[in-house]
Every structure is written in C-alpha cells, then in structure tokens.
Amino acid sequence: MASTAPLHYHLTHCFSISQCKDKEVLLQHGWTARPPPRYSFSRNRENSINLTTSVSRPIKAFSVDIPSYPLLQPPKVEEESDSELEPADPDFYRIGYARSMRAYGIEFKEGPDGFGVYAAKDVEPLRRARVVMEIPIELMLNISKKLPWMFFPDIIPLGHPIFDIINSTDPETDWDLRLACLLLFAFDCEDNFWQLYSDFLPSADECPSLLLATEEDLLELQDENLASTMRKQQLRALEFWEKNWHSGAPLKIKRLARDPEKFIWAVSMAQSRCINMQIRVGALTQDTNMLIPYADMLNHSFEPNCFFHWRFKDRMLEVMINAGQQIRKGEEMTVNYMSGQKNDMFMQRYGFSSPVVICP
C-alpha cells in the first residue's frame, strides 16, 4: 500500500492545488485568485459549524446590464428563447472554438458563507424568469449518472488508465469518486479551463467539508452518527486512492494525486459543488453529475431567488432569477441545493447545517 500514515495525519496535512499557468482568461473577467485561508471554524450551541470570514473583497464578473423583458408575457422558461441577449455568433460552434461564460448584473465576492454571487444592481420583479449567467458545456465537467460512463465534454482519450479507474467504481454509490477523478484529470490536461479555475476553488484548509475534518473536529460535532458516517466516507476515499495510486501506477495516474489529501480534497469538491441535472445533448437525454464553473459559486437557501435551467439548443446552463423576484443591489443570489433533505445531509455533503428545519 502506498500510504500507512493514519488518516487524520493525511487530512491535517495541507497541500496546494495546481498552479495556474496563465491566469489571463479569468483575469480578463475581472477575477482575482482566492486570498489565503478565509475561514475559521466556530461552533454554536447546536453543534453546527459556522464559518466566519475575515476578508470581504468584491470580485466582479464581466457584467452587462440585466436585460429587461416585456411585461405582458406569461411567466415561462422557453427552450427556443426569445431572449434579448445578442444572438450567438455561429462561429462559436466551430470545433475547437471555446465559448466563454457570460454574466449579467452580478458580482462574485466573499460573504459569510464563503464566495457567493451578489446582485450588482437592483432587479425589479418581472413576470418571467431571466438569465443572469450562461455557462457553455465546454467549460463543465460532466459524467452520466449511470453506465455506460459518458463524459460531456469528452476529455478522456481512448485507452487512458483514468477511465479504468472510473470504470472500477460502484455505479450506485461512487459518483463523487468518479467526479473527483475527472476533476483531477482536467487539472492535468494541457490548456484545460479547470487549470485556471482551480485557483478559485477553496483549498483544503478553506473548505468546510467534513470529509477534510480531523478526528478532533469530528468529535467536536458531538453527533456520533454523523461523525461515524464521515469516518466511513473518509476511509472509502482513502482506500480508493490506495487501490489506484499504488507504487506501480502509471506516472500519468500518479501525478494526478500524489498524496491522499489531494484526492480527498477533490472528492470534497465533487460533493460540495456537484449539480445534478437531466441534460439533453444531441439525441441523448442523460441524468448527469455536473461540475459547473461559476454556477458552483452560488450558495444555498431554502428560499432561493434563482434556479438552474439547461438550454438545449446551444448546450448552456442558465442561472435564472425566479419570475416575479425582486432583488436589491448587494443581495445574495442563491439556489436550493437539495429540497426536502434533512440537515444531516447538508452537514455530510456541504459542511454546513441550515437554520431552517425542513424534516422532523
């Protein structure tokens, strides 16, 4: 086995994720890399973990005015959109031409729940939903939820050993391990967008996921069920890494996650940032586990003002403001991560618990 050190040693040992070769693309969008660790753990009486943040620095997306919609149209989301957005340039669809993300009237900045998305101007209630972000499929990392494994975009070359590793996962339970493998693979692909975007993901010491918690942190939860579930999850990720990142593994696998901390960090990214959607790509309709840059900066609320919509005609994820929603400049834009789930599930997967109790 490649690793014999105790799990908590691995998990408390920090690592830094891939270095950005060329930040120009993101900097053009007005982004700056994450500052050094922003969070400190503090626990309240209900034993939930609260995040406190020390920095508040606005990060502006390249934004244009939120388009206004005619008032007398029914509230609907249309596939064949008659959006006021300028029509897409047909050249965008040429093979090899990567489209970029577009954002309207929002900014990305730090708030009490880490990075979030905020209204850059007042949004008046309109009768139909409207777009604030469009993210093209080329920038995403998506895997079908069921066999046969399909990747959108299809970035894994035929015969690459990472495919065998993904293929060895349990189709029922291991979606997060598959997505973590794909994420690490993307970091290693020359000119892949995620090499740049990785600088905007929380590092291991910034991420409140309980997968990265030490034994001491788990004991502090004072919830033995949750602590024991998290220990099992940590072990599952560690054993998977040990099985596949052994000393005889090919270099192109080894370099993806040289230590278990990096792999477990990638699993925590998958768990806390994955969006599940049914998407249509060509003739295929697929339930999909998706890592969607920029959309993954939206924080959760049980009373969200935004939602996700898959735009089939040009394979874009749209983040849309609810019909009839008013949002004031500076207010946070949110989505509902998991409607109808227990608080425990939020703690397990996202590292926070919600003050709103939705299930007994």
Ligand X SMILES: C[S@@+](CC[C@H](N)C(=O)[O-])C[C@H]1O[C@@H](n2cnc3c(N)ncnc32)[C@H](O)[C@@H]1O
Taking the C-alpha atoms of residue 146 and residue 41, their distance in angstroms, rounded to an integer, is: 37
- Residue 352 touching ligand X (CB under 6 A): yes
Report the residue number, 63 or 343, with the smaller CB distance to ligand X.
Answer: 343
Place of tokens 């608080």: 343
Minimum CB distance to ligand X, residue 78 (Å): 27
Minimum CB distance to ligand X, residue 334 (Å): 7
Taking the C-alpha atoms of residue 166 and residue 278, their distance in angstroms, rounded to an integer, is: 21
Report the residue number, 280 or 300, with the smaller CB distance to ligand X.
Answer: 300
- DSSP class of residue 297 equals G
Sheet strands side by side (includes 58-60) = 58-60, 106-111, 114-119, 332-335, 299-300
How is residue 21 written in tokens? 């070769």
Q: Which 104-163 positions form the footprint of ligand X (CB under 6 A)?
A: 113-116
Minimum CB distance to ligand X, residue 154 (Å): 25
Q: Which stretch binds ligand X (CB under 6 A): 57-65, 82-90, 248-256, 293-301?
A: 293-301
Sheet strands side by side (includes 63-64) = 63-64, 102-104, 130-136, 316-321, 306-311
**Residue nearest ligand X (C-beta atom):** 114
Q: Which stretch binds ligand X (CB under 6 A): 62-70, 167-175, 183-191, 345-353?
A: 345-353
Of 129, 264, 297, 316, the one binding ligand X (CB under 6 A) is: 297
Minimum CB distance to ligand X, residue 280 (Å): 24
Contact 348, 230 (CB under 8 A): yes
Of 262, 273, 309, 311, the one binding ligand X (CB under 6 A) is: 273
Taking the C-alpha atoms of residue 241 and residue 260, their distance in angstroms, rounded to an integer, is: 6
Taking the C-alpha atoms of residue 200 and residue 11, their distance in angstroms, rounded to an integer, is: 21
- Residue 197 touching ligand X (CB under 6 A): no
- Residue 293 touching ligand X (CB under 6 A): no
Minimum CB distance to ligand X, residue 53 (Å): 9
Report the residue number, 118 or 350, with the smaller CB distance to ligand X.
Answer: 350
- Residue 254 touching ligand X (CB under 6 A): no
Minimum CB distance to ligand X, residue 234 (Å): 16
- DSSP bridge pairs for 165: none
Of 109, 131, 185, 208, the one binding ligand X (CB under 6 A) is: 208
- Residue 202 touching ligand X (CB under 6 A): yes
Of 63, 169, 198, 299, the one binding ligand X (CB under 6 A) is: 299
Minimum CB distance to ligand X, residue 260 (Å): 20
DSSP for 202-241? --TTT---GGG--HHHHHHTT-HHHHHHHHHHHHHHHHHH
Report the residue number, 115 or 197, with the smaller CB distance to ligand X.
Answer: 115
First-residue to last-residue Cα distance in the chain: 43
Residues 6+ away with beta carbon under 8 Å from 234: 7, 11, 211, 264
- Residue 304 touching ligand X (CB under 6 A): no
- Residue 351 touching ligand X (CB under 6 A): yes
Binders of ligand X: how many residues, by CB under 6 A?
Answer: 15
Angle, vertex CA 192, rays to CA 154 and CA 321, nearest 5: 80
Question: In 54-176, at which residue ranges do the beta strands (DSSP E only) sit?
Answer: 58-60, 63-64, 102-104, 106-111, 114-119, 130-136, 141-144, 151-152
Taking the C-alpha atoms of residue 30 and residue 20, their distance in angstroms, rounded to an integer, is: 16
Q: b/e map of 313-335 (b: 16 or more CB within 10 Å)?
A: eebbbbbbbbbebebeeeebbbb
Report the residue number, 48 or 81, with the smaller CB distance to ligand X.
Answer: 48
Q: Which stretch binds ligand X (CB under 6 A): 25-33, 158-166, 242-250, 292-300?
A: 292-300
Taking the C-alpha atoms of residue 11 and residue 237, their distance in angstroms, rounded to an integer, is: 12
Of 144, 244, 272, 288, the one binding ligand X (CB under 6 A) is: 272
Minimum CB distance to ligand X, residue 174 (Å): 20
Interacting residues with ligand X (CB under 6 A): 113-116, 202, 208, 272-273, 296-297, 299-300, 350-352
